[in-house]
């Protein structure tokens, strides 16, 4: 009989920054600003965000996220891909 590994407590995460839950429209910009995809911003932190969209496979590894509510843009890279969503890491965060 094997011992079970302790499971992480519900809600515990590996993230270094606290996330803020939101539901806002955003745009993924890529291909030298020639292509865009509409997405929904689901949560955001100082280091990255989670985006919901129809086809995550269409998003390149690096892109710009545009937030029309405040006109900001942030360079990003894919941290993870899931069904209908991606996690993005902001590239303009100081190390």
| Weakest-pLDDT range from 10-19, 24-33, 71-80 | 10-19
Burial (CB < 10 A; 0-12, 13-18, 19+), residue 79, is middle
Q: What is the 3-state secondary structure (H, E, C) of 22-64?
A: EEEEEEEEECCCCEEEEEEEEEECCCEEEEECCCHHHCCCEEE
pLDDT of 30-72, one tens digit each?
999 999 999 999 999 999 999 999 999 999 999 999 999 999 9
How much is the pLDDT for 45? 95
20-90 CATH fold:
Thrombin, subunit H (2.40.10)
What is the Cα–Cα distance from 22 to 53, expressed in whole angstroms? Answer: 15
- CA angle 17/10/12 to nearest 5° reads 20
Predicted confidence at residue 74, as pLDDT, reads 97
What is the residue extent of each domain of the chain? 20-90
């Amino acid at each position: 009989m094997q011992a079970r590994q302790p499971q992480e407590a519900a809600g515990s995460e590996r993230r270094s920054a606290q996330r803020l839950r939101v539901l806002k429209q955003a745009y993924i910009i890529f291909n030298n600003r020639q292509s865009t995809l509409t997405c929904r911003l689901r949560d955001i932190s100082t280091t990255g965000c989670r985006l919901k969209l129809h086809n995550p496979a269409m998003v390149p590894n690096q892109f710009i996220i545009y937030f029309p509510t405040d006109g900001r843009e942030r360079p990003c890279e894919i941290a993870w891909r899931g069904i209908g969503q991606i996690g993005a890491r902001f590239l303009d965060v100081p190390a």
